[in-house]
Each structure stands twice: as structure tokens, then as C-alpha cells.
Amino acid sequence: MGNSDVSKVKSFNKKKLFIFSIIVLVIALCLVYFLTNKDISEDEELIVQGSLETTETDLNSKLAGIVDQVLVQEGDKVKKGDTLIVISSDTIEAKKKQAEAAKLAAEAQAEKAANGARSQEVAQAKAAYDYAEKTYNRIKTLYDEDAIPAAKYDEIYAQYISAKQTYDMAVQGAREEDKLAANAQVAQADAAIAEVNSYLEDAVIKASMDGTVTSLNVNQGNLISTGMPLLTLTSDEKPWVEINVKETDLSMVKEGKEVKVTLTAYPGEEFKGVVKNINKNPDFATKRATNNNGDFDILSYGVKIELSDMEQEVYPGLTAMVDLGKKTGE
């Protein structure tokens, strides 16, 4: 083979190598484009990461005082209404005794106004009135005869009128407005007692729901202030998973749909979840910037997945993976 033939063969091989390289490059670019522009290929499972949530309640103090008793520890299971912490209430107890004493006095006044004067008081008033009347009649006779000065007559007459009014009041009893005022004092005393009792109730911290004490912030003898968080109670109700689903995938999410959930805390285990709620308020949607969806941003909406068969010990914030099923028909 001559040199010219060898040169032709080499040139041909270079062309084939160049064409092959171009083909490989085109295939690679197509593959990259396909992978970057297609989040989930047809028939691939749509799995979204979220976090486990539970209902938590902080129990605060409405009173300032000293912690008298702490009846629970972290990790304890409690029932709604169980007493958890007792705050010292000596001052409030003293106020309650004062309020109760005030009520007794008010009730006595009200009873007196309702029943009127006692028979002995009526008799005394009658005797004083009779005496004043006789005295007045004698003085009037003397006054008519100009035997005594007018000043003396006026004095006796005033005493007579006063005795008569006292006797009439004893017979008739208290006026209606006096009875109303006495009853109002009783009602006021009842309100004071109710207020003190509410303070006493606030001194006893009770569980607001069935749950577990997950955080305890005080010990016996601690001085606490109003509004201070004493402990955190985590509900025993079903936990749920919060996920964000892109608007392009919302067609796969329906309320009531059953989904599969896995937790990183329990590898190899699968739990059943149910879609309970899809947040429809766009104010709560998270805008996700992306460069593979054309000229618009993608919104992701909050979805609540309730775990219906969860018996394992779980904690808020655990990482969860939610399998929403296969995405077909891109």
C-alpha cells in the first residue's frame, strides 16, 4: 500500500472518530437535559420529605409564688385533669377567709333587713313612743295656756315625732331600698369569694389533655413569676407529618388518600398515613425558585399526613419520607 493510501485510511479513521465523538456528546447532552428537566420519570414513585409533628402545650403559671409540690417527672404519662404542680397559696387562703367573713356580715345585715326589728326592739320603741306622746300632750296643754315658752314646746314636740318615727320603722321593717342594698353586699361578697377560688384553682396546675410530660422547668421551692412556663405536655393523639408538595404534583394528593410513610428513626418499618388536609391558602405556600420549569416559579403547598397506626415512641421533628405513589402521564 502506498503512502497516499495510508494517508487516506488515516484521514477516514479520524473522520469516523470525530463523528463518533459528536454522537457521544449529543447523547450525553440529551441525557443531561432529560435528567435536569424531568424531576420524576414516568412511573417513578413520588417521595416527599417532611417532619413529624405532635400537639404540644406549655402550661404556664397565672400566679407568682413558690412551687409547693411537683408531682410529675419528665417522661410521665398523665391524664387530663391530673394535678401536676401545686403553687403555695397561703396568701390566697387568707384572702378567702377575709372574703368569707365579709359575706357572713353581709348576710346578717340582709337577714335583719328582711325580717325587720325583733319583738323586743318593737316593744322598746312602743314604750318610748307612748312616753313621748304623753309628755307631748301635757306640754301642749301648758303651751296652749301660755304656761311654757315656745322653745320648750318645740323641743318636746321634736322628741315626740322622733319617737313616733322610730316606732313606725320598727313595726314596718326596713325600706325596700335598704333590703336591696343589703342583698347587694351579699352578692359582692360572693363575687369576692369566687375570685379568690379562681386564684386557688390557678395555684393547682392540672393536665389540659392526655399526654406525656416532655419538659419540666421547675423544682419544689422555686420562686416563679406570672406567665412562667412550668412544663411542656405532648399530646397522646395521633402524630402527623407536614410536607410541602409542588403545585405540579398536587394532582397526586387528595384528602383521605392513604400513603406510605417511613421514619429515619425506625429504618425498615413502614407506616400507614392518611392525607388529612391540603393548605389552600396561598399565603402559606412556599415559592420554590427553579431553573427547569420555564418562565415561572413553582409553589409548594403544605399537606398534613396523619399517621393512623403509630404505636412506636416518636418525637417532634423526626424526619419522615412520604410515598405519594407513582406519577404517571407526565
Contact 83, 204 (CB under 8 A): yes
Tell me, what's the pLDDT at 79?
93
Tell me, what's the pLDDT at 289?
53
C-alpha cell at 212: 406525656
H/E segment holding residue 56: strand 56-60
Given a cut of 50, whether residue 330 has pLDDT beyond it is no
| d(C-alpha 242, C-alpha 261), whole Å | 12
Choice among 45-49, 61-65, 184-188 with the minimum mean pLDDT: 184-188
Pair (254, 296) in one structural domain: yes
Pair (64, 50) in one structural domain: no
Pair (228, 246) in one structural domain: no
| d(C-alpha 142, C-alpha 153), whole Å | 9
For 159-183, the pLDDT digits (tens) are 888 877 776 666 665 455 556 666 7
Pair (257, 319) in one structural domain: yes
What residues have CB less than 8 Å from 75, skipping those under 6 apart? 212, 213, 214
Given a cut of 50, whether residue 117 has pLDDT beyond it is no
The pLDDT of 198-213, averaged and rounded, is 86
Task: Write out the residue range of the structural domain in which residue 10 sits.
Answer: 1-37
* Residue 230 counted as domain residue: yes
The CATH number linked to 280 is 2.40.30.170
* Residue 61 counted as domain residue: yes
Tell me, what's the pLDDT at 4?
56
User: Could you tell me the pLDDT band of residue 224, with boundaries at 50, 70 and 90?
Assistant: confident
* Residue 320 counted as domain residue: yes
Pair (26, 50) in one structural domain: no
* Residue 110 counted as domain residue: no
Tell me, what's the pLDDT at 82?
93
* Residue 213 counted as domain residue: yes
* Residue 119 counted as domain residue: no
* Residue 276 counted as domain residue: yes
Pair (225, 248) in one structural domain: no
Pair (50, 62) in one structural domain: no
Pair (225, 243) in one structural domain: no
* Residue 299 counted as domain residue: yes
C-alpha cell at 182: 343589703
Pair (242, 322) in one structural domain: yes
Domains: count for the chain:
3
pTM for the full predicted model: 0.49
Task: Measure the CA angle with vertex 146, ends 142 and 148; round to 5°.
Answer: 60
User: Could you tell me the pLDDT band of residue 41, with boundaries at 50, 70 and 90?
Assistant: very low
